[in-house]
Every structure is written in structure tokens, then in C-alpha cells.
Amino acid sequence: MVAADLVRELESANQRRRLEAVVQSRSRLNPSVRKQLILALSNAGRDITAFGDQLSADFQEPVLNGKAYQRVIREYMAEQPEPDIEEKRTLAADLKHAIVREISYAQAKQLVYAFEWLGNLGTTEWAWGLFAGEHLAGVVCFGSTAGTKVAASVCGEEHKHKVATITRGCAAHWAHPHSASFLISAACKEMTKKGYHIFVSYADPAPGSNEVGTIYSALNHHYCGTTSPVEQFKSPDGKVHDSRQVSGLARDRRGGTLKYKRTRAAQKQLLIEQGCEFFEGTPKHRYVGIYGDRRTKRLLRSALRWDVLPYPKRQVPNAEVKAMAAGAGEV
């Protein structure tokens, strides 16, 4: 959590703007304050470089080998020292004593930042945790659907208020093997008490995450194909952004006054000139889970407007396919 907060601080656009404003007005600075700022920036730069070198020295990018990124993370974390690990494994060995309850945003952060491949809570509005004794073993988060028309497109305008999105989910490496399905099922049933019965979830098959949504097929959620690819752009610092941010960058209303306003096309061109690269994102797998009593599930299933298709399969790397084939030949 500290590391994630540091990322936001280091990449803070507000801090950058404040420094730019000071630099532009440097001739009007009190010489003493200007000298202090120069020294502070010099010291900060030296420290940041040193810490960056230490973080990079023994860092190795995880090798996916056809696995989902979150599984790779769990396997990596399983090799690291873990406080009370024997107690946690003992308590998590049987789901009969597991407890699922609503948790705070701050509690959800603890596990999501450690095990979820995106490393943030996104648009989370509600979070549910799976507990083994006092230990948090898994988290699933819910939020509103992206876009203003998505909710109505699932089962129609009449049922749009019953739609929520599963925004994040993860489990600790020591959790029970069936923790994810147990937690998601229990949390969705609890969410029906808030009036939500239709749950949309996405799985990103891009190389960085390598997801196909196996957990949702295990829960018998309906597979509804893939989303339309969304345009994205990569800034010079390597960070990937959704192109919907372009419109927000096209105007500046800081301080309550409109400082500038550009067309979206002009803002996009400016970003390209600044070194940003625009590209088409990867379509995501899309699932719909329907929860409630028999009558509710039957009604909503008949109202589902998205096509229900066969479940997708994970693409196995060529090297793994050859190894499997070689093994079959030996048998």
C-alpha cells in the first residue's frame, strides 16, 4: 500500500504543475526560498535515483508461460516469508468455518494491492472479504458499469438498476483452492439484498494479464463474447491510459476558471507531438452472472439481451503445446 501511494505521489500531475508554475516565475522568487528549493530538489533527485537503483537491482519481470498473472503473483508470494503462515493455512484448510462479510475500502486495499494484477481498486463501491479466522484470505469488489448505456444494454431499461460490475477480485496464496468461487458466489448473493441481481465481469486476455475468466465459467456465469476494443495511449513515461482521458485533458478548469479549451482532435494531436502513442486495446471477455430466487433468475435470464456463447479457452504457448505433444508421444 505504501509503494502504491508512492507511485501516485511521484506521478502526481498536480505536483508537476506546481513546479512548472514556480519555474516560470523563478525571477520573482525570494532568493533564499529559491536556494532552498534547488537544494531540496537536488537531494530528492539523488535519493530517488538511489532508491530506484536498489529496487531495480534484483527485480525480475514475472514469466507468465500461459498462466494468468494473478496466479503467477500468488506463486511468487508463496515463496516469500509470511507471518503466521501455519495458522493461516490451518484455518483456511476447510471452508466450513469461512466467513464472508462486507469490508471497508481500506481493508480491501490490503489484499488487492498485494495480489490483484492491476494493483488498484478502480471504481469499487462495495467490497466483500473472505475470512479464515481473523485473517483476510480473499476480496471481491463491486462497482457501477462503465458508460451510461451499458447497464440498460444487459437486460433492458427495466432492469438496469439491478446491474453491478465485479471490478476486482483476488485471494491470498495460502487461501483454500476454492476460495474465489466460494467468495464470489456468497458476495453476489449478499449484493442481492442491496437490490443487485445482475453482475457483469470482464477478463483481460492481453499478455499482461492473460485471463480468460475461468472462475466465472466455474460459477456458471454466462459468457457473452468480447467487448469492442477501446483506444488507448501510452505516454512517454510508459504508462498506458484510456483514450477517454483525452477529453478531460482538453480543458483546464483549475481554480474555478476556464484556462484553456481545445477540441478532442487538437488535444490528441498535442499528445502525439509530446510523444504519446495511440493504439487499439485488446477486447475483453465478458460474463454475466444472475442471482436471486428462481423466479428472479428465470425472469432476468429471459431478459438477457447479450448473446450467450461457449466458454473461451486459454491460449497455450507453442512451447507448452510441443511439450504436451512430446509427453503424449512417450505415453
Of residues 38 and 14, the one with the higher pLDDT is 38
Question: Which candidate, 68, 320, 78, places its Cα nearest to that of 205?
Answer: 68
For residue 76, the model assigns a pLDDT of 86
Q: In sequence order, what are the residues at sequence separation of 6 or more whose Cβ sits closer than 8 angstroms to the Cβ of residue 268?
A: 243, 246, 278
Residue 324 pLDDT level (bands cut at 50, 70, 90): very low
Query: Regarding beta strands 135-143 and 124-132, do their DSSP bridges make them parallel or antiparallel, or are they unpaired?
Result: antiparallel
The Cα–Cα gap between 311 and 220 comes to 10
Which of 191-200, 234-243, 286-295, 304-313 is predicted with the least confidence, judged by mean pLDDT? 234-243
Mean pLDDT value of segment 11-28: 87
* Angle 66-68-69 from CA coordinates, rounded to 5°: 115
Percent of the chain with pLDDT over 70: 91
The Cα–Cα gap between 134 and 150 comes to 38
Does the pLDDT value for residue 316 go beyond 70? no
Name the pTM for this structure.
0.77
- CB–CB of 208/155 below 8 Å? no
The Cα–Cα gap between 276 and 105 comes to 33
Exposure on the CB side of residue 140, measured as CA atoms within 13 A: 24
Mean pLDDT value of segment 181-205: 95
Mean pLDDT value of segment 321-327: 37
Look at domain 69-229+282-316 and name its CATH class.
Answer: alpha beta
For residue 320, the model assigns a pLDDT of 42
The radius of gyration of the chain's CA atoms, rounded to the nearest angstrom, is 24
For residue 232, the model assigns a pLDDT of 82
Mean pLDDT value of segment 22-42: 92
Mean pLDDT value of segment 16-40: 91
The amino acid at residue 40 is A
Does the pLDDT value for residue 196 go beyond 80? yes
Does the pLDDT value for residue 145 go beyond 70? yes
Does the pLDDT value for residue 313 go beyond 90? no
For residue 287, the model assigns a pLDDT of 97
Span 77-114, pLDDT tens digits? 888 888 899 999 999 999 988 999 999 999 999 898 88
Residue 328 pLDDT level (bands cut at 50, 70, 90): very low
For residue 117, the model assigns a pLDDT of 73
Mean pLDDT value of segment 177-202: 96
For residue 319, the model assigns a pLDDT of 45
C-alpha grid cell, residue 145: 458499469
Instruction: Give the CA-trace dihedral at 145, 146, 147, 153, to 10 degrees.
Output: -50
The Cα–Cα gap between 94 and 88 comes to 11
Look over the chain and give the mean of its residue pLDDT values, rounded to a whole number: 86
Residue 141 pLDDT level (bands cut at 50, 70, 90): very high
Span 250-301, pLDDT tens digits? 777 666 677 778 888 888 898 898 889 898 888 899 999 999 999 999 999 9
Helices (H), 58-201: 69-78, 85-92, 105-115, 150-155, 179-191
**What ranges do the domains of the chain cover?**
2-57, 69-229+282-316, 240-278
The amino acid at residue 125 is E
